[in-house]
């Protein structure tokens, strides 16, 4: 985005091993903030379609925090989880089965000990059916470039990075992922044009593409500041791979785009916005926290764009509505719990009856 400035070179970011005690931030509010931001962007383009939906700027969520995520809070134990997974596992009864320890297999949080989380695999489009019990809450994110069912990225400096850790490793990986998202949005833009999308939707998609270029620049700058070399991203031939459905008519193209946008956009970008807010809360310096929070707002706007795109596709082709229901039903329960209310606000799901 045009207002996003790459970090200066004046001081270095401390790696995870060098951090003493990052400023305590309202991590528990990350999801509330993410939901509010997505709804605000949807309201700005008039895509809050569901009857009785809330005005995003004034009543986006009953659990919207009263303090900003950037504001310091006390170190009291959080009451809600900032991660997509359910954080508060129920207290086991005396007859409960033995739960998994760190590193053991799981499908949900209830398969792990009460202080652990079940972290599923996620490639930006699909979740694995099983995961691993971990101490850290999972962070899911991404709008990947998927070709033949796999996420594809260019390598940084021509080869995978080894021997780096902490923030340096994060920015090396993030730079490659943001770079691949440029191609993902470029392909989406071509698909939308083929399907006759309105100019405003095309313009917002192109703006998202430009955001990803700026995110890539920022990640590379932070990578160098945190100790990485002055590397460039390599080739990405998969950017011009065949587009799914393109050779089978417009209906097939629309259905393929719908599935891709639901998983990579509605899910991936929403969770990416939340993940950025969580990282901002752990940032070792204010400048990095501010940059991550700006990226989080971009990702929330991209998530809103995905919901807008899905709504447009369904409006143009009502036969796709069952596909939306099927794709959402296939999400892990904890993720579905986050995404379905947003889909409902856009009119993609029936409004829940009031008590």
311: which 2 tokens?
Answer: 């709504």
- Do 304 and 38 contact (CB within 8 A), yes or no? yes
In this prediction, residue 263 carries a pLDDT of: 92
Per-position pLDDT tens, the chain of length 355: 333 444 544 444 443 344 434 433 444 588 899 999 999 999 999 887 544 344 433 333 334 333 333 333 323 332 323 333 333 334 444 444 688 888 898 888 788 998 887 887 765 556 677 888 988 666 556 678 888 877 888 888 756 566 677 999 999 999 999 999 999 999 999 999 999 999 999 999 999 999 999 999 999 999 999 888 888 899 999 999 999 899 999 999 999 999 999 999 999 999 999 999 999 999 999 999 999 999 999 999 999 999 999 999 999 999 999 999 999 998 888 899 999 999 999 889 876 655 4
In this prediction, residue 352 carries a pLDDT of: 63
Q: How far apart are CA 77 and CA 150, in angstroms?
A: 38
Cβ-Cβ contacts under 8 Å for 129 (sequence gap 6 or more): 107, 120
Cβ-Cβ contacts under 8 Å for 108 (sequence gap 6 or more): 86, 118, 332, 333, 334
Strand partners, 112: 100
Q: How far apart are CA 229 and CA 198, in angstroms?
A: 43
In this prediction, residue 350 carries a pLDDT of: 78
Residue ranges of domains in the chain, CATH in brackets: 85-89+98-138 (no CATH), 141-336 (1.20.1260)
Q: Exposed (0-12), middle (13-18) or buried (19+): which is 321, by Cβ within 10 Å? A: middle
């Amino acid at each position: 985005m045009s207002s996003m400035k790459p970090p200066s070179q004046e001081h270095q970011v401390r790696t995870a091993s060098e951090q003493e005690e990052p400023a305590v931030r309202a991590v528990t509010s990350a999801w509330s903030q993410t939901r509010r931001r997505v709804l605000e962007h949807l309201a700005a383009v008039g895509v809050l379609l569901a009857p009785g939906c809330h005005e995003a700027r004034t009543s986006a969520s009953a659990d919207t925090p009263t303090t900003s995520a950037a504001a310091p809070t006390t170190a009291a134990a959080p009451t809600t989880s900032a991660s997509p997974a359910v954080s508060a596992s129920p207290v086991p009864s005396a007859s409960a089965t033995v739960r998994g320890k760190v590193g053991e297999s799981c499908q949900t949080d209830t398969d792990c000990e009460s202080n652990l989380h079940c972290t599923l695999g996620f490639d930006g489009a699909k979740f694995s059916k099983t995961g691993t019990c971990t101490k850290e809450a999972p962070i899911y994110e991404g709008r990947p470039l998927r070709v033949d069912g796999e996420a594809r990225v260019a390598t940084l400096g021509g080869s995978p990075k080894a021997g780096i850790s902490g923030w340096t490793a994060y920015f090396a990986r993030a730079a490659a992922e943001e770079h691949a998202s440029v191609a993902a949005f470029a392909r989406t833009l071509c698909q939308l044009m083929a399907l006759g999308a309105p100019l405003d939707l095309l313009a917002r998609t192109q703006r998202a593409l430009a955001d990803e270029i700026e995110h890539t620049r920022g990640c590379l700058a932070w990578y160098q500041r945190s100790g990485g070399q002055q590397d460039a991203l390599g080739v990405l031939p998969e950017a011009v791979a065949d587009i799914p459905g393109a050779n089978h008519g417009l209906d097939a193209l629309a259905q393929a785009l719908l599935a891709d946008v639901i998983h990579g956009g509605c899910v991936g970008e929403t969770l990416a916005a939340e993940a950025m807010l969580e990282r901002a809360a752990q940032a070792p310096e204010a400048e990095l926290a501010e940059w991550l929070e700006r990226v989080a707002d971009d990702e929330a706007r991209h998530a809103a764009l995905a919901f807008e795109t899905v709504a447009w596709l369904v409006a143009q082709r009502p036969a796709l509505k069952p596909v939306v229901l099927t794709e959402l039903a296939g999400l892990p329960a904890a993720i579905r719990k986050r995404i379905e209310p947003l889909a409902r606000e856009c009119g993609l799901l029936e409004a829940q009856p009031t008590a």
